Amino acid sequence: MFDDKSILITGGSGSLGRALTKRLLHFHRPRRVIVFSRGEKAQGEMRQMFPESQYPQIRFYIGDVRDYARLKLAFTDVDYVVHAAAVKEVPTCEKDIWEAIKTNVGGAENVQRAAIDMGVRRVVALSTDKASSPVTAYGATKLLSDKSFVRGNVYAAGTQTSFVVVRYGNVACSRGSVIPLFLSQRQYGEVTITDEHMTRFWMSMEDAVDAILWALENCLGGEIVVPKMPSFRITDLAEAVAPGCRRKIVGIRLSEKLHEQLWSPEESRQVYDCGAYYVIYPETVDWTLNYGILKAAKQVPEGFSYRSDTNGVWLSSSGIRELLQREGIDV
């Protein structure tokens, strides 16, 4: 579906944008892959990774999702948009809440308006576990963003544009991941852990890209896609990355959750098991259940919440180490 198509990635110079760009250029035949971000330095690094002499399809646009006029211009002749731009550092959002709102909520509105106005076929917006039962400013802004993208399909009625959300937890080695921290601390023989009982979902960068492409190919609009992921204990991650190192317990951070949650028990009535993915359907839409790959979907039990501490699939320290090595990380 990406052959001879134009795909734009907001926040495209980040770690996920780079992985998605690589996948599109190496395994598909797009007409254009547009990296849209405000990171001039990061775009410069990407130009070296993907030189235009070798990848004539790639384009680099400096811009901010807060700027509707710039988005509208950038979306000219674009078929698909992956919206990855966000203010995502939790402490930053707590300190500068209005700035987080302007980008994560106001930017989401601008992306939707520009996509409808310019005839973009589909937008996949990236979410986070922190949007489920949020306790932080970041989580609250992403929840509003999610709801606006789901509702955006109503505003787009009668046009060719549709909006889908992909929601997952921390991606291994992405910005904000604890893995780079452990890697830097192990040379000193001690790693810092907030709470020994903490659990998280495991998701590689390639898994994240898979989820985005699956949503683009299989969803119709209004769905929130949640990939199925294994869980791990933070102590097992520390053992995998820094074996034999001392562990210093520093206490849980402000508003940090002990466990990841991808939807609340109250949302379970709209959640269906679609094989490798769960899909949260909007309350006002039922036609998706009779469409294509989703025909065999089964509703999850009422009250079921997808949490990292009650997950049925777990990674051991050796399993984590194997996955990290597969990602090219020296452990």
- Catalytically active residues are 130
Query: Cβ contacts of residue 219 below 8 Å, gap of 6+?
Result: 122, 162, 164, 225, 279, 288
Which residues on adjacent β-strands are paired with residue 193? 249
Burial environment of residue 330 by CB neighbours within 10 A (0 to 12, 13 to 18, 19 or more): exposed
Cα distances (angstroms) measured from residue 133 to each of 10, 128, 211, 265: 26, 11, 22, 10
Q: Residue 165 — φ and ψ, nearest 5°?
A: -120, 140
Q: Is the separation of the CB atoms in 109 and 240 below 8 Å?
A: no
Q: Is the separation of the CB atoms in 120 and 76 below 8 Å?
A: no
- How many Å apart are CA 122 and CA 149, to the nearest integer? 11
Can you tell me which residue has the tokens 């106005």?
117
State how far Cα 191 lies from the chain centre.
27
- How many Å apart are CA 38 and CA 121, to the nearest integer? 24
Q: Is the separation of the CB atoms in 43 and 35 below 8 Å?
A: yes
End-to-end CA separation in angstroms for the chain: 38
For residue 31, give both structure tokens: 């007409």
Q: Residue 156: CA atoms inside 13 Å, Cβ hemisphere, count?
A: 29
For residue 118, give both structure tokens: 């310019």
For residue 92, give both structure tokens: 């930053």
Q: Residue 248: CA atoms inside 13 Å, Cβ hemisphere, count?
A: 9
